[in-house]
């Protein structure tokens, strides 16, 4: 029952048919999926959504596919964790973690966008799916292509973390390591997409792919009891996720699905070594100046973000802000999230928590307002980031005496019963 | 003649300079501004350039030497 009107240019508003297009031929603005919201009014209810499957497909009416999903049937509905321990550590009253570290099947939020994109690629009759990726997308495209029985080509920067390389190769795609950063990989892929006519999920079918990110916002609202939080902190790479979470919340609001409207302030989190969107927000400049990435948060290392301008608009328009995190803060924040909530996030999660901490300390996120942290990928993928700062403290002989001595020598207070 | 689509990001000091006019005159390139956004601190112009291959390369080098950031921009989808 998805009611897609077609595509629309985000710059000049020119309408296009719902074809595999992504750029306006007049002003070169990016295209976005446009829906017939009036027709959905009253038809898409809380009850109808709650009766749907426990996956992103419960929101199918607001996703741009025509038939049934062909891959990723179990994607989405990840936990929204009430993070009381973390809240205490941050000096906040109400903090939630939207935990996509356990996303099915590849442990990052990219499963949401890829499930939609690969289904759409099949509907468009593409024979090959592909992507340019900083890692998580590579995992997800390779896995979903395998599930859909499609060949896949995955292009990544050659210096990617080993966990992300192995987590892609296992699905048997054609993995191409490129000597260059993500922006150079992406540029190359635009040319390859033109020449070979493959479905590059984040290039030529990007308008459809990006819609999958809305489900992150839908789930936050539904899991909060059909309300939108006061603040959401979102990590940004290309900048799409923050815009789509906000789009999702505003769609829910427009359809009358939210109690209390949509007061949410969207905040962007980026690494100090690659933070062009957060910098633009801080400088009040709607033009994003590209940078050369240098950060341990490789999944966010996009120096020339495709949706940077729109991310800027989403943040500014909602009254939010942007913050950076140093590599040291990222590692500390990963440890804080793990030690308070038992959630091992990848470096991007560290960026989110660290930036949120700064925003709270600055008073931009008031301590008595509700906050959702978007944790988008699993820490087992980026073990290198924390490996050097985590050590096994005790190495003992298999005797009680050896254990007792170790406790005493490390000054650990263990009292026998 | 070959065409090239590029995005120019201007530093503040060059916003008031007629850079595209000079580019056109000195390198015999035909510019077509497809989109532009200018703020107090910086400017962004999405430009289609039409000309001989060697002139395109020289023209882009001229822009870069001035301190303008030149980003190649994808021209179309499938």
pLDDT in tens, A384-397: 999 999 999 999 99
Q: Chain A: nearest CA to B28, how far in angstroms?
A: 23
Task: Report pLDDT for A16.
Answer: 97
Q: How confident is the model at residue B78 (pLDDT cuts 50, 70, 90)?
A: very low
Look at A21 and B77 and tell me if their CB atoms are within 8 Å: yes
Burial A316-345 (b: 16+ CB within 10 A, else e): bebebbbbbbebebbbbbbbbbbebbebbb
Measured between CB atoms, which of A23, A285, A289 is closest to B77?
A: A23
Kindly state the DSSP code that residue A289 receives in the 8-state scheme.
P
How far is it, in rounded angstroms, from Cα B47 to Cα B31? 7
Q: What confidence category does residue A378 fall into, taking pLDDT thresholds of 50, 70 and 90?
A: very high
Under a CB-based contact definition with an 8 Å cutoff, are residues A246 and A221 in contact? no
Percentage of chain A exceeding pLDDT 70: 100
Band of residue B75 on the pLDDT scale cut at 50, 70, 90: low
Distance CA A386, CA B12 (A): 40
- CB nearest A193 (choices: B35, B73, B78): B78
Percent of chain B residues past pLDDT 70, beyond the cut: 94
Q: Of A338, A349, A115, whose CA–CA distance to A215 is shortest?
A: A115
Whether residues B9 and A21 touch (CB distance < 8 A) is answered with no
Cβ separation of B42 and A287 shorter than 8 Å?
yes
**pLDDT at residue B12 in the model:** 86
Asked if pLDDT for residue B18 goes beyond 70, the answer is: yes
* Mean pLDDT computed over A210-239: 98
Tell me: pLDDT of A117 over 50.
yes
Q: How confident is the model at residue B39 (pLDDT cuts 50, 70, 90)?
A: confident
State yes or no: pLDDT of A260 exceeds 60.
yes
Verify whether the Cβ–Cβ distance A27 to B35 is below 8 Å. yes
Quote the pLDDT of residue A2: 58
């Amino acid at each position: 029952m998805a009611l897609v009107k077609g595509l629309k240019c985000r710059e000049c508003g020119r309408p296009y048919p719902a074809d595999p297009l992504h750029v306006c031929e007049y002003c070169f603005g990016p295209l976005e999926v446009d829906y017939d919201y009036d027709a959905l009014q009253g038809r898409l209810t809380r009850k109808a959504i709650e009766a749907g499957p426990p996956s992103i497909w419960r929101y199918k009416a607001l996703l741009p596919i025509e038939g049934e999903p062909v891959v990723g049937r179990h994607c989405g509905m990840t936990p929204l964790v009430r993070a009381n321990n973390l809240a205490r550590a941050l000096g906040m009253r109400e903090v939630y973690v939207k935990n996509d570290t356990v996303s099915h099947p590849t442990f990052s939020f990219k499963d949401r966008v890829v499930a939609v994109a690969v289904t759409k690629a099949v509907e468009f009759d593409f024979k090959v799916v592909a992507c340019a990726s900083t890692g998580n997308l590579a995992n997800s495209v390779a896995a979903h292509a395998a599930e859909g029985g499609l060949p896949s080509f995955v292009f990544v920067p050659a210096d990617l973390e080993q966990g992300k390389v192995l987590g892609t190769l296992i699905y048997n795609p054609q993995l191409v390591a490129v000597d260059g950063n993500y922006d150079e990989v992406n540029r190359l892929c635009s040319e390859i997409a033109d020449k070979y006519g493959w479905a590059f999920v984040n290039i030529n079918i990007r308008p459809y792919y990006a819609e999958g990110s809305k489900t992150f916002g839908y789930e936050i609202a539904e899991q909060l009891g059909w309300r939108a939080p006061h603040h959401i902190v979102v990590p940004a790479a290309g900048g799409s996720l923050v815009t789509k979470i906000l789009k999702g919340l505003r769609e829910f609001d427009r359809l009358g699905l939210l109690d209390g409207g949509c007061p949410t302030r969207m905040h962007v989190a980026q690494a100090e070594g690659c933070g062009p969107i957060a910098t633009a927000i801080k400088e009040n400049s709607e033009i994003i100046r590209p940078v050369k990435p240098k950060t341990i948060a490789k999944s966010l290392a996009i120096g020339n973000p495709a949706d940077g301008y729109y991310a800027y608009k989403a943040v500014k328009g909602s009254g939010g802000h942007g913050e950076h995190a140093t590599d040291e803060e990222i590692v500390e924040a990963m440890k804080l999230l793990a030690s308070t909530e038992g959630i091992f996030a990848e470096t991007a999660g560290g960026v989110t928590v660290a930036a949120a901490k700064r925003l709270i300390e600055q008073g931009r996120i008031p301590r008595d307002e509700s906050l959702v942290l978007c944790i988008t990928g699993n820490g087992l993928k980026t073990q290198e980031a924390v490996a050097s700062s985590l050590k096994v403290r005790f190495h003992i002989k298999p005797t009680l005496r050896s254990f007792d001595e170790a406790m005493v020598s490390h000054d650990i207070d263990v009292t026998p019963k | 003649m070959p065409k090239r689509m590029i995005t120019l990001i201007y530093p503040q000091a060059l916003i008031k300079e007629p850079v595209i006019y000079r580019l056109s005159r000195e390198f015999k390139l035909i510019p077509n501004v497809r989109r532009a956004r200018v703020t107090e601190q910086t400017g962004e112009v999405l430009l289609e350039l039409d000309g001989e291959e060697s002139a395109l390369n020289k023209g882009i080098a001229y822009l870069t030497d001035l301190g303008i950031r030149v980003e190649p921009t994808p021209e179309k989808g499938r």
